[in-house]
Amino acid sequence: MAPRNGASALTRPRIVDAAVALADEEGLRAVSMRRLAAQLGVEAMSIYHHVPNKAAILDAMTDRVFEGFHLPSTDGDWRVELHARADSIRTTLLRHRWGLELVDSRRSPGRATLAHHDAVIGCLRNAGCSLALTAHAFALLDAHHFGFVAQELRLPFEDGEALDPLAADIDANVPLAEFPHFAEFVTGVALRPGYAFGDEYGWGVELLLDELERRRAAEAPSTVAERDGTAP
């Protein structure tokens, strides 16, 4: 059978590009060999010459997400590097909303994924964090980054959305008089002009980095000894 138009130019990166575009437009469930073939103008079997199965495509898509995350420099200012990483994670996952389902869930991490984890660990270690503190920090930072975005994606409104309809819904459906603390928060914070839930992300990052700085400084001498092999 003669190849359909576009088959001769088919490459693995082009397949991944198509998978990412399809997921961006219709969600992760839309990604299938048949749909990708239609997108690329090829027979479905042509794709198998470049990727063995759908799992390999999902792994490659995960790596593409990690390519969007800032790769911390192990020689830079650790706080600046981790802040840039935090900002890029949120930006990337809001652009590829399906990415959160794949991040840290695949069993065959690609080079970009491994390089990213290695760089984060190296950044923390070179900043003077012990292995234990590095593990704590890595886990807690990612819990904030990924957990916040997961919550943000589930909210029934978008940052910057007009507040009047939301306020009307609350007035109609919530007995605010019975919940004074919630009422104070809604009227004093959430429904005030200019409030954006997304701004809480950066506040949380700063809080975590402040505490990490305190703990890093407290254990710095022992960490140097640990790395030099002179610790008791």
Residue 88 dihedral angles phi and psi, to the nearest 5°: -70, -30
DSSP assignment string, 46-93: HHTTT-SSHHHHHHHHHHHHHHTS----TTS-HHHHHHHHHHHHHHHH
pLDDT at residue 174 in the model:
87
Within 8 A by CB and 6+ apart from 166, the residues are: 157, 191
pLDDT tens digits for range 168-197? 788 888 898 899 999 999 889 988 888 889
For the chain, the structural domain boundaries read 7-51, 75-228
pLDDT tens digits for range 114-139? 999 999 999 999 999 999 999 999 99
Average pLDDT (82-91) is 98
- How many other C-beta atoms lie within 10 A of the C-beta of residue 72? 25
Q: Record the pTM.
A: 0.87
Q: Which residue has the tokens 């940052």?
A: 159
Q: Which of the residue ranges 98-102, 169-173, 196-200, 223-227 would you say has the lowest mean pLDDT?
A: 223-227
Instruction: Please report which confidence band the pLDDT of residue 3 belongs to, taking 50, 70 and 90 as the band edges.
Output: very low
DSSP 8-state code for residue 3: P
Rounded CA gap, 82 and 75, in Å? 12
**Secondary element (H or E) of residue 192:** none
Give the CATH architecture of domain 7-51. Answer: Orthogonal Bundle (1.10)
Give the CATH architecture of domain 75-228. Answer: Orthogonal Bundle (1.10)
Do the beta carbons of residue 170 and residue 176 sit within 8 Å? yes
